Amino acid sequence: MNRLIHGQSPYLLQHAHNPVDWYPWGEEALEKAKRENKPILVSIGYSACHWCHVMERESFEDEVTADLMNDHFVCIKIDREERPDLDNIYMDAVQAMGLQGGWPLNVFLMPNQKPFYGGTYFKNHQWKGLLANIADAFSKHEDQLAESAEGFGKSLARRETEKYGISAGALDFDPDDLAEISLKLSSQFDMEWGGMNRVPKFPMPAIWLFTLDYALLSKNEDLKEKVFFTLKKIGMGGIYDHLRGGFARYSVDGEWFAPHFEKMLYDNGQLLELYAKAFQVSGDHFFLEKVEETIAWLEAEMLQEEGGFHAAQDADSEGVEGKFYTWTYAELANLVGDELPWLNKLYNLKPNGNWENGVNILFQTESYSQIASEFGMSEDDLKKKIKQVKNSLLEVRNQRIFPGKDDKILSGWNAIMSSGLIQAYHATGNHHYLQLALNNLDFIKEKLYQKDLLYRSYKNGHHYTPAFLEDYSQVIKANLMAFEASGKLAYLEFAQKLSDYCLEAFYDESDGFFFFNNPKAEKLIADKKELFDNVIPASNSVMARNLHRLSIFTYEEKYGEIASKMLGGMKSLILKEPGFLCNWASFLLESLVPTAEIGILGKGAREKAIEIQRGYQPNTIVAWVENMTETAPILSDKKPDSDGNALIYVCFDHTCQKPVSSIEETISQLPYLA
């Protein structure tokens, strides 16, 4: 065993029995490198990463390779999900070297932590050759490596705002900007298979959340249908688990067919929110099916007994990628009997397999109505049959050896899922979904918030690793949504408390943006700011939108001023590269179309709030209370009617229109893009 045996991370524990003398990141390893003047090898991955497992089997479990590593390097293993700050730094370093980023990420550092070389997956013979070459170079040309590392160190220390010419400032309003952003995005849509016109294909929820909101506010039916088309293709694809629910990270092809089969909590939380909104807008039960099945997967396979959600499921089981999820034709024929003809057509099954090694991925390319028509059934009858077949296949599949699971709990990822669950509650009215979310947020507050500090990770009854901006921003967002859904002031107060802490610990007044890591907590070679929206939206964009909404709920203008300046600094970049700034684009939309502040006060306020939230209205916030015992500032100046019954106030910038009592009158007061 090596020192990783004392960790909590499943990824680190997987390497605890390697012959490599791994250290976790920390003073012991860093001091050893300085004391012995040895280069540091930092290897970064995560539990659900397929190629991380491959490199471990080929190299880190090999005695000869391990001897090379142990003799010449101080070897540090990092779980990128526990330490995204370090992953950000060293991923940037590898990309600055002109190399392709990815995981496993292997980076060579000088004893002072500054990087001089790196890469991703290496085959064993390449890896051994590289280790020998670097060890030789360090012994003979340490000064040259140090010089190179200094250059990369300076590049890493350069501020993102400086690199991209950003400086927070006043926002210049122009509705035409939104049309330009939408046009640029639309030109990159794949009109045949949905999604963006690139391979591999990632769902990228932030793009579709923005596009849906823009389509609704500009009343652009064609654009709205493009969003629905993409969501249909993703939901029909092999990237979706048709038996259990839940989405894999991405497909390796352009058709959503063959995924890397790992399921991540953060993808599924965002897609849950997106599909719930799609159902609210369209009423299409295909979207509802994905919502309900994904929550069924969450409860069956990811819910921890205290109310937390586990982080991820691996792609591999029994050392084979996708083995758990795929079927031979003979297996299916034997299990479904007379139902095979329509199942065969529905999921594109082939006797010799539609994927590698003679197996089939369930891959839908025709709608239920098309299949029902072709086989002389009503759509309802087909759906009943599908449900029965799915249940019987799932029963068989559940007897297989399950993929590995990363059972640590991450506060930010849990909050992303809670946001999705709250949106699912609005879409369906199913109170159980709201309860799952509130239980989860209460769990985060109870177990991961200690002595006024939020923590990122929790496992085996212990919280560890102070939280990053990603965690704070997502927990704040989910608590604001929980306040809107539940009417409980405690969620708003907690969101405000966390926001105030972020302004104190993460905010950089010199450029008006937030650090990803708390610069006062640990001395790293660079303090990074996350500005670009990727698979998970940038923590700065999430934080800016939080502050905007918080200013409306609390009537404290300081939050809105900071948020507006952040957006002002990003605007020109959003126009240039909207594909990786779509959560910022959503905030731009919220700023250009005034955010509707809906306050409901009096008897029946809860029912009216539920009804308003049931039909998705972009760019609105809702606060409600039945009586005035405790309330948010947004509600403090509002009254019920003379009989104490609820009135609905639609306000903009704290200026309210005439209060109304019906939902129709409320909707008529909401703004649209001219």
Q: What is the CATH number of the domain that holds 98?
A: 3.40.30.10
Query: Do 316 and 339 share a domain, yes or no?
Result: no
Residues 490 and 418 in one domain: yes
Are 619 and 578 members of one domain?
no
For residues 560 and 640, the answer to whether their CB atoms sit within 8 Å is no
Identity of the residue numbered 400: R
Q: Average pLDDT of 346-360?
A: 97
| Rounded Cα gap, residues 277 and 212, in angstroms | 9
Does a structural domain hold residue 182? no
With CA atoms as reference, report the closest residue to 39 among 152, 157, 136, 120.
136
β-pairing, 462-466 with 513-514? unpaired
Q: How far apart are CA 669 and CA 667, in angstroms?
A: 5
Q: CB of 634 within 8 A of CB of 653?
A: no
Per-residue model confidence (pLDDT) at position 294: 98
* 387 and 417 co-located in one domain: no
Paired with 321 in beta bridges are 316
- What pLDDT score was predicted for residue 49? 87
CATH assignment at residue 448: 1.50.10.10
Which of the 8 DSSP states describes residue 20? S
pLDDT tens track for 594-621: 999 999 999 999 999 999 999 999 999 9
**Residue 107 burial (CB count, 10 A):** 24
- 178 lies in a domain? no
- pLDDT tens string 14-70: 999 999 999 999 999 999 999 999 999 999 999 888 899 999 999 999 999 999 999
Q: CA gyration radius for the chain?
A: 26
Do 68 and 207 lie in one domain? The reply is: no
| 481-493 residue pLDDT tens | 999 999 999 999 9
Count of structural domains, the chain: 4
pLDDT tens for 167-198 read: 888 888 788 999 999 999 999 999 999 999 99
Confidence at 630, pLDDT banded by 50, 70, 90: confident
Any domain includes 175? no
Tens-digit pLDDT profile for residues 124-169: 999 999 999 999 999 999 999 999 999 988 888 888 888 888 888 8
Identity of the amino acid at 521:
A
φ, ψ for residue 105 (rounded to 5)?
Answer: -105, 120
Report whether 46 contacts 264 (CB < 8 A).
Answer: no
Q: 425 lies in a domain?
A: yes
Condensed to tens digits (0 to 9), the pLDDT of residues 437-464 reads 999 999 999 999 999 999 999 999 999 9
Per-residue pLDDT, 673:
87
Query: pLDDT-derived band of residue 509, with 50, 70 and 90 as boundaries?
Result: very high
Q: Are residues 438 and 300 part of one domain? A: yes
| Percent of the chain with pLDDT strictly greater than 90 | 90
Q: Helix or strand or coil: residue 204? A: coil
Residue 278's closest CA among 325, 211, 336? 211
Q: Which of 562, 592, 622 is the last residue of a domain?
A: 592
What per-residue confidence (pLDDT) applies to 419?
A: 98
pLDDT of residue 627 exceeding 90, the answer is: no
Average the pLDDT over 106-116 and give the result.
95
Tell me which residue of 607, 232, 279 sits closest to 427, measured CA to CA. 279
Q: Name the strand (E) or helix (H) holding 585.
A: helix 582-592
- Could you tell me which of 259, 164, 255, 91 has the C-alpha nearest to residue 575? 164
Question: How do residues 295-350 score in pLDDT, each as one tens digit?
Answer: 999 999 999 999 999 999 999 899 898 999 999 999 999 999 999 999 999 999 99
- Residue 553 belongs to some domain of the structure: yes
The verdict on 495 and 529 lying in the same domain is yes
Asked whether residue 134 falls in the same domain as residue 212, the answer is no
Q: Which of 592, 607, 642 is the last residue of a domain?
A: 592
pLDDT tens digits for range 245-283: 999 999 999 999 999 899 999 999 999 999 999 999 999
CA 293 vs CA 19, 177, 244: distances in Å: 42, 38, 6
Residue 46 shares a structural domain with residue 12? yes
Q: Within a domain: residue 146?
A: yes
- pLDDT attached to residue 111: 96
Confidence check: pLDDT of 387 > 80? yes
Confidence of residue 403 (pLDDT cuts 50, 70, 90): very high
Residue 462 DSSP symbol: E
- Whether residues 152 and 224 share a domain: the answer is no
Least confident among 165-174, 367-376, 471-480, 493-502: 165-174
In this predicted structure, the answer to whether residue 654 has a pLDDT above a threshold of 90 is no
- 38 and 70 share one domain: yes
Mean pLDDT of all residues in the chain? 95
Tell whether 257 and 208 lie within a shared domain. yes
Structural domain harbouring 140: 3-157
Q: Judge whether 166 lies within some domain.
A: no
The pTM score is 0.96
> Which single residue is written with the structure tokens 């065969």?
344
pLDDT tens, 561-580? 999 999 999 999 999 999 99
d(C-alpha 86, C-alpha 354), whole Å: 40
Q: Is residue 14 part of a domain?
A: yes
Q: Which of 110, 142, 157 is the last residue of a domain?
A: 157
Q: Are 537 and 583 in contact (CB under 8 A)?
A: yes
